[in-house]
Each structure stands twice: as C-alpha cells, then as structure tokens.
Amino acid sequence: MTRLDLFIDRMVSQRACLDHAIAATDGLAGPVFELGLGNGRTYHHLRETVVDRDIYVFEREIASHPDSTPEPEFAILGDVMETLPQALQRFGPTISLAHADLGGHNRDKNDIFARKVSPLIEPLLAPGGLMVSSDRMYFDTLEELALPEGAVPGRCFIYRR
Amino acid sequence: MTRLDLFIDRMVSQRACLDHAIAATDGLAGPVFELGLGNGRTYHHLRETVVDRDIYVFEREIASHPDSTPEPEFAILGDVMETLPQALQRFGPTISLAHADLGGHNRDKNDIFARKVSPLIEPLLAPGGLMVSSDRMYFDTLEELALPEGAVPGRCFIYRR
Ligand SMILES: C[S@@+](CC[C@H](N)C(=O)[O-])C[C@H]1O[C@@H](n2cnc3c(N)ncnc32)[C@H](O)[C@@H]1O
Ligand code: NI
Ligand code: NI
C-alpha cells in the first residue's frame, strides 16, 4: 500500500460515512459539528449536502480554501480540549452529527488524542445522533455501527448515541 | 459536485493513469520524471511501483512527507521553466514516463502554465514514452491516449510519443 492508496481509501471512506450519516440523521434538527477544518474539503461536502442544519467548525487556526471557510459565527476557534466543554454548556446534548478528522501522521499520537477527546464529544450527541471519525474513538455509551458500502474498514468509524 | 468529490476523482484518476502508464512503459529503461512533488503522495506511489528505473523529482521547494522525499541526487530544484531545458541537455530524449501535477486551485492559471510547460516536456520523452498529467497539455507531436479504467475524464490526461 502506498501513501496515495491509503489517502484515497481515507477520502473515499470519509465521504461514504458522511453521506450515510447525513442521510441517517436527516430527521434530527440539532447542529452538525465539524472538528478540524484543515483544507475544508469535508466541510465543503457537509455544507453542500446537509439541509436545514447549522454547521459549526472547530479549528485551532483557519487555513482553508476561500470557498470552504465558515462564516465567523460558525467558526469556534481554539483547542477542542477547551472549546468542546464550552460547547457542551452552550448547546447541551443536541448535536445531530459530529465529524472528526483531527489526526496527523503519527498513529500513536492520534490514538492518544482520540482517547482524550472522546469523553468531550460523547455528551454532546443528541439521542440518535451520529459521530463519524477517521480515528477509532473511545466511547462508553455510544454504539459502533457497521460501515456503509464503499467505506474501507479501519479508515473510518461510525458511532451512534 | 463538492470539493471532496473533485479531489477524490483527481486522486483516483492519477493512480489509475500512473499504474497504467508504469506498466505500459515497463520495457523502457529511461528515467521517470515527477514534476511537482508537493506532499509526495504520487512520488511515494511511483517509488513503490516503478521497478529498475531512476525517478527524478522536479520541485521549487521540497515540503514533502519525510518518507516521500527524494535523495538529493534525484531532486532537481528550481522552476521547471528553467530546470526542464537543463534536463534536456543532460538526459536527451530518454524519459520513459513523465508525471506532472504542477497546478494549483486556479483553473485558468493552470491552463496558461500547461501551455508554457508543454513544449519543454515534449522533447524529453523517449519514443514510446508516456506523459501523465492532471491538466490538459498542449503537444504538437504526442498522441493523446484513451484513459484506463477507473480514471475520470477531465481529471487526468495521458499522452504518448
Ligand atoms: C499539487 S502539488 C503536487 C502534489 C503531488 N502530486 C502529491 O501527490 O503530493 C504541486 C507542486 O508543484 C510545485 N510547482 C508548481 N509550479 C512549479 C514550477 N514552476 N516549478 C517547480 N515546481 C512547481 C509546487 O511547489 C507544488 O509542490
Ligand atoms: Ni504524513
Ligand atoms: Ni483550492
């Protein structure tokens, strides 16, 4: 497997999981959280595909493509270790869909971070809400779901409250 | 189409065209040219897939992933508008495969650049040599080939001397 192969699998799996999760949470009114904006490709995909729900973006520093940059009132700037607890105060357990792609190139570091951030995401989800992640998460009360068609095992994970 | 969709189509098409072109030029001994290293994903793919051919990388400034960085003797630094004519002096018409992914986000700029760089690439190819590009190129003597299975029309182009 080359880095190109791995990357394609990750992108294709993200899209398959997001499309599935967006459709599956269509009946929920609560906002969508994009954790990690990066270049803004998955945010662009969410914005074009999610209907009638607010999308909030969590990012340390905005560096996205101009056409994939959230309006200031939908950008929550700072370290998610701080901004997610604040978001729980503000939004309560109302999130219909959370997508996290916070990892870098170091698998071990990503795993350590996934363990730390999981308990901050868990209480935010609405009943029936879904969480899509590029890294395995560590939730006590959420159920891991089977991947939709087209997603590659290990490249994407879906959880449901 | 979202930016994620477009990006996936480009990556998938790059891989399909590269795999096809690598196999089709297997009998040629001349070097492979990677024009534009970027993150180094397609270079990594070339390095893992091309057998018994040197791979030279042309890039303004190396900023690739550590495991996808060429040895100094295979990195040709500078603007391709200058380094390609120098490469013609050094290598002559011996290149078995050239891959170009030099573009940025601006389609019109990419097209203008493709017109300028095409005549610098054209004389470098060996007879039977192939050129794979993410942008449409403007060659006088090369033949445009049909895309291999899996490539998306418009996201990748293949030419043969
Ligand atoms: C889209 S990136 C290549 C991505 C690469 N195929 C990958 O898979 O990671 C384009 C690269 O071309 C380089 N580039 C663009 N114009 C150039 C020029 N005139 N001379 C040299 N390098 C150039 C840029 O510096 C950039 O790193
Ligand atoms: Ni990396
Ligand atoms: Ni762009």
ipTM of the complex: 0.95
User: Cβ–Cβ of B11/A14 closer than 8 Å?
Assistant: no
**Interval between CA B84 and ligand 2 midpoint (Å):** 28
Residue type, A12: V
Q: Residue B7: which H helix or E strand, with range?
A: helix B3-24
Q: How confident is the model at residue B17 (pLDDT cuts 50, 70, 90)?
A: very high
pLDDT digit string, tens, across residues A62-117: 989 888 999 999 999 999 999 999 999 999 999 999 999 988 878 899 999 999 99
- Smallest CA separation from ligand 1 atom 25, residue: B60
Type of residue found at A93: P
User: Over chain A, what is the mean pLDDT?
Assistant: 96
Domain that includes residue A94, residue range = 3-160
Q: Identify residues whose C-beta is under 5 A from ligand 2, the ion.
A: A 105; B 65
Q: Is B97 helix (H, G, I), strand (E, B) or coil?
A: strand
Ligand 1 centroid to Cα of residue A101, in Å, is: 25
B31-87: pLDDT as tens digits? 999 999 999 999 999 999 999 999 999 999 999 999 999 999 999 999 999 999 999
* Averaged pLDDT for residues A3-28: 97
Residue A137's CATH number: 3.40.50.150
> What are the tokens at B152?
């998306």
Strands A75-77 and A55-59: parallel
Q: How confident is the model at residue B120 (pLDDT cuts 50, 70, 90)?
A: very high
The ligand whose atoms approach the alpha carbon of B7 most closely is: 3
- Report how far apart, in Å, the C-alpha atoms of B80 and of each of A4, B57, B76, B131, B149 are: 24, 10, 9, 15, 30
**A74 alpha carbon – ligand 1 mean position (Å):** 32
Report how many domains make up chain A.
Answer: 1
For ligand 1, atom 3, name the residue with the nearest CA. Answer: B38
User: Is A105's CB within 8 Å of B65's CB?
Assistant: yes
The verdict on the CB of residue B107 being under 6 Å from ligand 1 is: no
pLDDT band at B105 (very low <50, low <70, confident <90, very high): confident
The DSSP code sequence of A58-107 is EESS----GGG---GGGEEES-HHHHHHHHHHHH-S-EEEEEE----S-H
Instruction: Judge: A4–B12 Cβ closer than 8 Å, yes or no.
Output: no
Q: Which of B7, B32, B59 to mutate to test the pocket of ligand 1 (most atoms within 8 A of CB)?
A: B59
A8 CA to centre of ligand 2 in angstroms: 14
Q: Are A18 and A131 in contact (CB under 8 A)?
A: no
Q: Which residues of chain A are at the B interface, by a Cβ-Cβ cutoff of 8 Å?
A: 2-5, 7-8, 11-12, 14-15, 40-42, 44-45, 48-49, 65, 67-68, 105
Taking CA atoms only, the protein residue closest to ligand 1 atom 15 is B102
Nearest to A4 among B3, B5, B15 (CB): B15
Does pLDDT of A37 surpass 90?
yes
Q: What is the pLDDT of residue A107?
A: 85
Residue A123 has pLDDT above 90, yes or no: yes
